[in-house]
Amino acid sequence: MEGSSMSMRAFVAGLPKAELHVHHVGSASPHVVAGLAARYEGRTDVPADPAALAEYFEFTDFAHFIEVYLSVVDLIRDAEDVRALTYGVAEDMVRQNIRYAELTVTPYSSVKRGIPGEAFMEAIEDARHAAERDLGIVLRWCFDIPGEAGLESAEVTEKLALGLRPDGLVSFGLGGPEIGVPRPQFQPFFDRARAAGLHSVPHAGESTGPETVWDALRHLGAERIGHGTQSVKDPALIDYLGEHRIPLEVCPTSNIATRVVERMEDHPIRQMVDAGLVVTVNSDDPPMFGTDLNREYEVVADLLGLDEAGVAELARQAVRSSFQDEAGKARLLDDIDTHLAAWRAQA
């Protein structure tokens, strides 16, 4: 079994991958976060010692996670911070053989803290271009509304997305806590974003029940569902998601860390797959949860009892569910097939 586990780890490490649900600030490595904390020492509660960050990132529940997450967001105070964070995230992704990623970015949080919108856009776009040129990774943006900040944040996010629309922007989202943050109130903002050609990818059904997913579908026109963990509790919803082939962006370790699922063996991903739903594997806020995308693939392979071919199909599912152009999808799908074929040939 140990050899099998090591073999899967090696296969996943070399597997070309796409990631669809991963947060910009939440992807900051301990090294990057510690550097920012040191820069603002005396003006933040975030520890500057990378070792101390592991303890800082131990969450008691979803509300505590949001509190800690926002303290890290507060470390991003100028355009230089934004650019360094973004390029650092790309470097970490390349080490995992991630070839394409849709990063969930919350520009409202940075603009509210005094970074001009134009400077913010210039910083992420400069990092995106540099990452593609230097590292070969393709990055795209999902601008999300931080639900806990209410309708003001929705207005600002819409204005930034549509008024200063960066070339890398492909989608519009809604994050933050679900409890006490009804989805329907954000419909006008999603309507305008969709009319402008952006895809709809709200979080739903993470810390609340299936009704939040229904709201995301009915009111926000969701094309993918961020998490959707509680969808399995509603047979009619399962049927709808399956019939319309709406992908779920599943983040197993995140769900355990924030206590929305108690034990990994109880994670509903098995029910999702058995129901024939489109499932993609993602890392959400990887350093905060002590994981990365490679580790999430290993976890899911174990939960579902997958061999290398099954894991490769999960990787293809993420590519097909992405908003990458068709030529980019075709290249990445070919790379996945090549990796699997080479693995089988040397087995």
Helix (H) / strand (E) containing 9: helix 2-14
Residue closest to 33 by CA, chosen among 49, 19, 20, 17: 49
Please provide the DSSP assignment of 68-127 as one string: HHHHHHTT--SHHHHHHHHHHHHHHHHHTTEEEEEEEE-HHHHHHTT--HHHHHHHHHHH
Annotated active-site residue in 125, 158, 206, 296:
206
Q: How far apart are CA 88 and CA 103, in angstroms?
A: 13
Q: How far apart are CA 214 and CA 217, in angstroms?
A: 5
Close Cβ partners of 345 (under 8 Å, ≥ 6 residues apart): none
Task: Count CB neighbours of 119 within 10 A.
Answer: 16
Maximum Cα interatomic distance, the chain, rounded to a whole number of Å: 56
Q: Which residues contact 50 (CB under 8 A, 6 or more apart)?
A: 30, 31, 33, 34
206 flagged as catalytic: yes
Task: For residue 109, give Cα distances in angstroms to 23, 78, 85, 123, 147.
Answer: 13, 12, 14, 15, 11
The residues carrying an active-site annotation are 206
